[in-house]
Chain A
Amino acid sequence: MTQLTQLLAELQERFGADADAAIGEQALENVRVAYLGRNGEVTKIRRTIGTLPAAERPGAGKAINDAVAAMEERLKAAQAAVESRAVDAELAASIDVTFPAIAPAAGSIHPVRRIIEESCDYFMRHGFAVVVGPEAEPDYYNFDALNIPSDHPSRESFDSFWLTDSVLLRPHTSPMQIRTMQEHRPPIAIVAPGKCFRRDALDARHLFQFHQVEGLLVADDIHFGHLKGMLTGLCRELFGSGQRVRFRPSYFPFTEPSAEVDTTCPKCRGESAEGRCSLCGGSGWIELGGAGMVHPNVLREVGYDPDVYSGWAFGFGVERLGLARYRVDDIRRFISSEPDFLAQLS
């Protein structure tokens, strides 16, 4: 019995020394397994109980259990010490928080899409739907239905790419006006963004492939003031709340009255001295596109009575908006889409 007691005392002492010496959780676990594990030192001693006289066995069992409890207590303390050392070590770390960040694979949408989406969002909030349609369109949708008969001089200003005798790449998104009005009865409230093509030589201000955002509202009692209201709102959406919008009389066969729409130059705000603003040329205004009240002939073409319904339409060039919005120096950058251009504008 005293032999057992001595054995257990020695064991505890060794265990304590090993536990204290263990560095790290794994080493401590190894110590635990060596002493308290299934085949550990304690188990070996426990196996000797059978050799003791029966009367001594309960005492021996208790002595072993007490020793195990003490060792487990000791182990806990050692574990706590190890963990505390680990936490201290971790807390001792100190990094340079200004070191360059590790960037994720950055995705982005094209600035053209961003402008289209923001424009469309503005109109959708006001109850408009967004429709999209084909780029190769018959001349009927591009011209005839829009009150531009063949031989009309303004067909010249839509210098187009022809694919067949009657099909061309749309020079504007206006065919979607006709398609939508033929498919639906008033009220019509749509925005139609999309790619257009005109035979313009490529330079810093002209693309032969560009995007437009077109809008059309036809219902009872829609007037020019509503057009001004929505387009003023759009410009403020895109350029900020102080933005002013100017409507100048103009001529388009498919609207009457017609207007050119300008907005305050976002770069110089009209304050460039005797004007060499690189964006607006010093006029203080940038041109956004055309607008006007839908021509009665266009309404008649789709079977609407112009004495009952009235409406307005507009078409803006998206890359032109982009030039002004992002201060891009050359419109061709929208189509070369270089990584740096995309990264800067994303």
Chain B
Amino acid sequence: MRVPISWLREYAAIPADDAAITERLAMLGFPVAEAESRPTLSGVVTGRIVGLEKHPNADRLQVGRVDVGAGEPLTIATAATNVAEGQVIAVATVGAQLPALRIERRTMRGVVSHGMMISAEELALPAEWFEDGILQLDQTTPLGADVVELFGLASDVLDVEITANRPDATSVVGLARELAASYGVPLHLPRLRDSYDEPEPTGEAPRVALQSTDCHRFVAQRFDGLHVRPSPAWMRIRLALAGQRPINNAVDVSNYVMLETGQPLHFYDASRIRGGTLTVRSAHEGEKIVTLDGAARSLSPLSLVIADDREPLCLAGLMGSASSEVTHSTSAIVVEAANFSGARIRRMSGALGLRTEASARHEKSPAPALTNFGAARAAQLLTEIGAIAYPPRAFGAEIATSPPVRLPLRDVERLLGLTIERERIARHLAALGCTVEPAGGDALAVTAPAWRRDLGIAADLIEEIARIEGYDTIEAVEPSVPPHHISSAAFDRERALAHALEGLGYREIVTHSLCGSAESDVAVEVRNPLSEEHRFLRASLVPGILDYFAANGEVRVFEIGEVFRRENEDVGERTALGFGFLSHRDAARPWKDDAFLRLRGDCETLLRRVTGRAMDASPGDGRHFHPGKRARLTIDGRDVGELGCIDPRTSRALGLTENAYVCLIDVGALPPYATPLYRPPSRFPSTYRDVALVVRADVSARDVERAVAAAAGPSCTGVRAFDEYRGPQVGAGQKSLAVRVTLQRFDTTITDEEADAAVAAILAALGERFGATIRT
């Protein structure tokens, strides 16, 4: 909300400069998004044109004599055409500083001009919102007054952010009240018209029919004898400073009161209300309205309207119709100060794509009591411009006073950690409009003011006390946290994985959880995506990692994040880990892939470090992978993930010139850490034998290793296949495999005879099991 500080100061003598007020508002919970400082202006005074004649030497100039309250009238030449004798205007005197120029005595075609008659633009007001030419002031304006001071043109204009719970503070009076309470100065409310002792006018008073429970209260008041014309200068300038374009003296009152009190108003041309009754109801399907902005809108029952006997005259809380607009020929109006359901207005506003200053206020569900305040203020201002007021009529709910809230004083200290005297607490609350009474024991009974709906419990009041006392008066202390049994295991596990991968030379990335393609028929779809590229939740980390490779080339990366799939009507979610790298394509040996083995090595190291256990790999079936280069990973027989070379068709489609190798771990499936136990080494030396065999190509190295270990007997401490060869020397469908067997005993040194016997047993077993032959 745009708030000129000069307007705030009208209601409270705030003993602080603009910068301090800006800071204080933030510390009261009303941060200032922008403080707009006004340009330096000086030497501009009010004056009356007491004489005007044509310039003797220039057709387009006139020479005026302007009475500025003291001394001889000033002779001032002007090129403006809207000047006339008797007008009260703003005059920049010699020495005046305007935004773009400094005023000097000046000879214009032989006439010495002692100043300049000025327009709104020279006062740094939006020129297009004011009359062409010289700014016209009211006849009642004192002459010789400083214009900058008179109209508050020097103070900053603040763009204040107001939280959703404070519709009452979405107003100049509301913010002034906060500042008055904070600085401990009295608040002076604007004049209201709330008594009607003269005889009532004889015309027809407005009738209102509430046909929707979404209109809680409707204050209607008729005014006759209105002369629609421009508002007085002070109001036009103030509205312009607050960012509202002045329109005419009726519409301006409506906007002024909304800004001042927070209560949106709507003015109807009384002559356009056919039948004389305003009905608040839901729109009929397909009903039409042309709103003030010129848009023709087709309505649905979602919209709440205020209608006469024939058609809607207003979209409740949003905007009126062009047909019932106040125009220059209007002489009687009906003022609406209504309270609607904030939720209804919000839905309407969303559905119609129409958001106004009024709807923004209604959406926050201001207190119904505000209707009386707004109506009475409008009545005052309309009376001041000569309108004849009928007494207001209220429809709907009466203003209910909220029950007092019991505020135990120990709770103030318990929640804030701040000791504040009882009297001080009472004073803070009273300054905000609360009624404070003793409530037995060490407690107060606090009744919230009618305009506040957010003070329903003790904690709400405690926040008010803290705000006025100042959050910065609360001392920062470290709590001593009592012991508890909440586990950090899941976080620790993720952290261990991340750091182990960091150690293995992988960089962590974060990619988008939302992607553009469904990927699988169990993909979870977002109902209200921001764009097509972010319509689905990822079911796997693979596409994100591949996209990263495509964008960034050769890097070793990992990501830990949630992946999703539809499970019946529910959303299934798991924590996944993916890591991998790119490696060049090697077509020379289709039966061997070192990149795959490096990835598996990293995975084994990772899982051993994190789980303390050995991982096992066997041929897999993961859908992302090359059909001949993929493995499923298990620990203690349970699936924990998969790895392999990404299907080269996928890589090529992404424009990758290398193959991608990716390992995927289901983090939740990893078993808890198993602490390894130390086994002292044998004191006796070990020995080894290398065995070279020829087996069928489809016999896996792991099966050979296991068979070797089983056949070698209890002194076998290690078996490892270390070389593989396929080619003409071993024949089609066969492969040569070299296996090293390590033998060691704890009680004595292995003899050559024992080692040879073990090899013989191994060869016999392999021959029987796989038809293996010794390679010669």
Contact = CB atoms under 8 A, between A and B. Distances in A.
| Chains A and B bind each other | yes
A261 to B, nearest CB: 10
Interface in A193-232: 193, 195, 197, 199, 201-202, 208-209, 217, 219, 221-226, 228-230, 232
A132 B552 contact: no
Contacts of A129: 484, 486-488
Interface residues of A, number: 85
Interface stretch (B72-80, B438-446, B524-532): B524-532
Interface string B462-497: 110011000110111111011111111011101100
Query: Which of A134, A230, A249, A334 has the most chain B CB atoms closer than 10 A to its own CB?
Result: A249
Interface stretch (A27-35, A58-66, A79-87, A160-168): A160-168
Contacts of A217: 479, 481
B29 interface: yes
Contacts of A193: 491
Given A107-B505, A251-B163, A201 B530 contact: yes
B513 interface: yes
Contact of A105 (B488, B508, B556): B556
A190 B485 CA distance: 11
A135 B573 contact: yes
Contacts of A161: 514, 526-530
B724 interface: no
A241 to B, nearest CB: 14
Given A153-B364, A157-B164, A223-B417, A248 B490 contact: no
Query: Which of A108, A113, A162, A337 has the most chain B CB atoms closer than 10 A to its own CB?
Result: A337
Contacts of B476: 225, 228-229, 232, 245
Nearest to B163: A251
- If over half of A's interface residues share one DSSP class (helix, strand or loop), that class is named, otherwise mixed; here it is mixed
Given A130-B491, A225-B474, A108 B365 contact: no
A187 B484 contact: yes
Given A132-B494, A337-B511, A162 B528 contact: yes
B498 A113 contact: yes
A189 B486 contact: yes
Interface stretch (A43-51, A263-271, A338-346): A338-346
B481 A127 contact: yes
Interface in B528-584: 528-530, 534, 537, 548, 551-552, 555-556, 561-562, 564, 569-571, 573
A154 interface: yes
A161 B413 CA distance: 40
A153 B508 contact: no
Contact of B507 (A106, A199, A257): A106
B526 A248 contact: no
Contacts of A104: 505
Given A130-B491, A226-B479, A346-B507, A184 B414 contact: no
A296 B459 contact: yes
Nearest to A192: B491
A124 B165 contact: no
Nearest to B513: A209
B414 A250 contact: no
B504 A107 contact: yes
A221 B31 CA distance: 30
B485 A184 contact: yes
Nearest to A219: B482
B548 A223 contact: no
A112 B514 CA distance: 18
B459 A256 contact: yes
Contacts of B534: 208
Interface residues of B, number: 86
Contact of A230 (B472, B478, B511, B551): B478
B466 A249 contact: yes
A247 B507 CA distance: 37
B313 to A, nearest CB: 27
B417 A257 contact: no
Query: Which of B163, B343, B467, B499 has the most chain A CB atoms closer than 10 A to its own CB?
Result: B163
B475 A180 contact: no
A110 B467 CA distance: 39
A184 B485 CA distance: 8
Nearest to A232: B476
Query: Which of A180, A225, A336 has the most chain B CB atoms closer than 10 A to its own CB?
Result: A225
Given A108-B507, A229-B479, A251-B163, A134 B573 contact: yes
A257 B501 contact: no
B562 A257 contact: no
Contacts of A245: 476
A161 B528 CA distance: 6
A164 B569 CA distance: 8
Contacts of A169: 513, 526, 537
Interface string A238-276: 000000011111110000111110000000000000000
A249 B474 CA distance: 12
Contact of A249 (B463, B564, B569): B463
Interface in A121-161: 124, 126-132, 134-136, 151, 153-154, 156-157, 161
Query: Which of B364, B478, B548, B569 has the most chain A CB atoms closer than 10 A to its own CB?
Result: B478
B458 to A, nearest CB: 8
A68 interface: no
B474 A342 contact: no
Contacts of B569: 164
Query: Which of B346, B510, B525 has the most chain A CB atoms closer than 10 A to its own CB?
Result: B510
A130 B488 contact: yes
A166 to B, nearest CB: 10
B707 interface: no
B342 A153 contact: yes
A237 to B, nearest CB: 12
B27 interface: yes
Contacts of A20: none
Contacts of A256: 457, 459-460, 462-463
A150 B363 CA distance: 14
Nearest to B508: A110
B472 A247 contact: yes
B510 A110 contact: yes
B537 A163 contact: yes
A295 B415 CA distance: 11
Contact of A131 (B467, B490, B499, B513): B490
Query: Which of B363, B364, B471, B498 has the most chain A CB atoms closer than 10 A to its own CB?
Result: B471
Interface in B378-425: 413-418
A153 B350 CA distance: 13
Nearest to B408: A307
A156 B477 CA distance: 34
Contacts of A247: 471-472, 474
B509 interface: yes
Contacts of A188: 484, 486
Contacts of A52: none
A190 B491 CA distance: 12
Contacts of B512: 209, 335
Interface string B240-274: 00000000000000000000000000000000000
B644 to A, nearest CB: 21
Interface of B: 26-29, 31, 163-166, 342-343, 346, 363-365, 413-418, 457, 459-460, 462-463, 466-467, 471-472, 474-479, 481-488, 490-492, 494-495, 498-499, 501-514, 524-530, 534, 537, 548, 551-552, 555-556, 561-562, 564, 569-571, 573
The 7 closest A-B pairs by CB, nearest first: A105-B505, A249-B29, A225-B417, A257-B463, A127-B481, A223-B417, A251-B163
Given A131-B487, A134-B562, 10 more contacts: A105-B504, A107-B505, A126-B478, A132-B491, A136-B571, A184-B485, A189-B486, A229-B478, A296-B459, A310-B415
27 contacts: A104-B505, A107-B501, A107-B503, A107-B507, A108-B502, A109-B498, A110-B508, A127-B484, A128-B481, A131-B486, A131-B488, A153-B364, A157-B164, A161-B529, A162-B527, A163-B526, A164-B571, A184-B486, A197-B513, A225-B475, A229-B476, A248-B31, A251-B163, A256-B462, A256-B463, A335-B510, A335-B511
